[in-house]
Structure 1
Amino acid sequence: MSGCYYLDENNEWRSDNLIVYFILSGNDNDTGLRLLGTEGSILQRGNIDLFLMAVPSCLGPLNYLRIGNDNSGDSSDASWFLK
């Protein structure tokens, strides 16, 4: 099974300190908390970022993808647009 998820930040800013994470869950297992990265060049408005993930065992049919951030950085505006 293959799939793509696209994450587009709906802001003009991206703090180098912002921590973005995800959890991908299936019927049989989940990934646990995974960091998308903390490099300043990722998740910039207008960019397309690709991430490759390995798991120790099959997740089974996928149930959900949860994406979040720790709201750290220089701005209190933490709005995101996921498509």
Structure 2
Amino acid sequence: MALKITEECINCDVCEPECPNEAISQGDEIYVIDPDKCTECVGHYDEPQCQQVCPVDCIIPDPDHRETKEQLLEKYKRLMAAKAKA
């Protein structure tokens, strides 16, 4: 499933550059994760990099975007194919 950033976010700026899919961006008040781009780093790393660097542990699975590892891998493949065409 995609991840999401909770209200506990302190806008420390460490998660955004860690995302290999560029799914994290600054929202109105806190950082946000685009569920269409988030693969939980499947295809890139063994663990979600944003969760690894977050100092307040405010990045959690998004219950509104449940996906299996296989679905995340398919999303990764689509994102890489689209990036290759750009």
Q: Which has the higher helix share?
A: 2
TM-score (structure 1 length as normaliser): 0.34
Higher relative contact order (CA 8 A, sep 6+): 1
Q: Which has the higher strand share?
A: 1
TM-score (structure 2 length as normaliser): 0.34
